[in-house]
Amino acid sequence: MANRHRGEIRATFGDRSFTLCLTLGALAELEDAFGVADLPALGERFATGRLSARDLMRILGAGLRGAGNALSDEDVAALPLAGGLGALAATVGELLAATFGGEGDRDP
């Protein structure tokens, strides 16, 4: 079960359910991947809403690894997209909201 107070979310890819969490290490990985200097710059980058498929893959990969799942970006790229790209983008949005705060960061 995901703990929203720790920034965790649950997501299903194909028939597998995973916990995702952007830990400090995962955020550092994303700073490096996106070539930004700090967390505010990373948050600004995500706030534009303009994310490529590679961006989504990197964010999901970092979140999966942050929660202890041993998946490479190549493994993430091969995960089935149940619900299509819209569902995938919503999952990334939920993960970012759980990490940085926002509308989706409250428990139901």
Name the pTM for this structure: 0.86
Question: Tokens representing 102?
Answer: 């926002």
Q: Is 22 exposed, middle or buried (0-12, 13-18, 19+ CB in 10 A)?
A: buried
Identify the pLDDT of residue 45: 87
Q: Is 5 exposed, middle or buried (0-12, 13-18, 19+ CB in 10 A)?
A: exposed
Identify the pLDDT of residue 72: 93
DSSP-H helix ranges across the chain? 24-34, 39-47, 53-66, 73-77, 84-100
Q: Say whether pLDDT at 107 is over 90.
A: no
Length of the chain: 108
Identify the pLDDT of residue 102: 65
Three-class SS state of 11: strand
